[in-house]
Structure 1
Amino acid sequence: MNASAKNLLYPLRMTSSGFTLIELMVTIAVLAIIIGIAAPSISTQLANQRVKSTTATIANALKEAKVESIVRRQNVTVVYTDTSTPKTIKLRANNTDISSYNISDNSTITQTITPPTVTSLVFQPNKKIVGGATVLYTICDSGSSSEIPKQVNLTSIANVNTITAGSC
């Protein structure tokens, strides 16, 4: 009562010997089609996730700058550097770096300071921005054209708001 393949008749052994080349090729073709359909969706999701991550990083840096200015009782300057690799946001007090945040190289950030006469973003201990400035950061991703842009809005009284808006 040994049920091994050696004891079967020759025609039965040949029909149960595994996959044919055509079956394997059809399987690979179906997998290639599924991957081709899913790949663009995955890249868009990754781009959206990078935008969300960069938005959270900027919002956290601005909130930390506000808190640090209050705790230290001195002005804290936020410096955004997009020329270095990786892009960074640094918080400085008395020309000393307090902390640094790295930003994805695929992220594109547009900083708009109003009024235009204010050249740097400085938090004061009285919970205000020097010069009564308001700042708008628009975050996009250079890796995809179909991502949803986000904006970080900083009011003159140092409130940080994150919204889904803007254009890339």
Structure 2
Amino acid sequence: MNVFARHRPQKLRMSSSGFTLIELMVTIAVLAIIVSIAAPNISNQLANQRVKSTAATLANALSEAKAESVIRRQKITLTYANTSTPKVITITAPGSTIIASYSYNSRSVIKPDTATPTIFEPSKQVATALTYTVCDNYSGATSRQIEVDKIANITTKLGGTCS
């Protein structure tokens, strides 16, 4: 006990220790307000991170497929499965030989602009230029696009529609 507390009356010394119930309730109410403001932002950030991760996985798979087509001197096909569990991106050689497979988040969705699979030629080109849009089940997420042009350049950018 400090020096000043000894000079107070006994009744005042006993009642001045701890927090009152009202002080604790006000503190909890303030914390609840802060959490309710922060919760939607956290959900949005998690959804954006899932989209970013899936887009990076798809871009890496496309790059590997491009490199494998040059190394093997064969046409290499990249396919994905939005309906399987787990969701998988597969790189295959002729004869359905699986070279590699990548799983991606079950809440992410990959949408191509055309229904044709991506086929990389040994001449460092693709059969058809494609744009993939990566979306999330959470509606507040920002989608990303991965573009593969005719000469197999792979670029990632924000945007696209997820409807």
Is the TM value for this pair above 0.5? yes
CA distance in 1, matches of 2:64, 2:137: 27
- Code of the residue aligned with 1:80 in structure 2: it is Y
Percent identical: 53
Residue 17 of structure 1, CA deviation: 2.2
Superposition pairs of residues 1-168 of structure 1, within 5 angstroms: 9-94=9-94, 95-113=96-114, 119-129=116-126, 132-143=127-138, 145-168=139-162
2:84 is paired with a residue of what secondary structure? Answer: coil
CA distance in 2, matches of 1:32, 1:98: 51
- Code of the residue aligned with 1:74 in structure 2: it is Q
CA deviations on 1:33-70 (whole Å, 9 max, x unpaired) are: 00001111111111111111111111111011000111
Structure 1: gaps of 5 or more residues: none
CA distance in 2, matches of 1:81, 1:12: 72
Residue 3 of structure 1, CA deviation: 5.2
CA distance in 1, matches of 2:27, 2:147: 51
Residue 9 of structure 1, CA deviation: 4.6
CA deviations on 1:117-153 (whole Å, 9 max, x unpaired) are: xx33221111112xx301111111112x222211111
Compute the RMSD of aligned alpha carbons.
2.0
2:46 is paired with a residue of what secondary structure? Answer: helix
- Code of the residue aligned with 2:124 in structure 1: it is K
CA distance in 2, matches of 1:102, 1:137: 16
1:109 is paired with a residue of what secondary structure? Answer: strand
- Code of the residue aligned with 1:133 in structure 2: it is T
2:119 is paired with a residue of what secondary structure? Answer: strand
Shifted more, 154-163 versus 23-32: the winner is: 154-163
CA deviations on 1:56-104 (whole Å, 9 max, x unpaired) are: 1111110110001111222211111111112110111132211111111
Aligned residues: 159
CA distance in 1, matches of 2:2, 2:113: 78
Structure 2: gaps of 5 or more residues: none
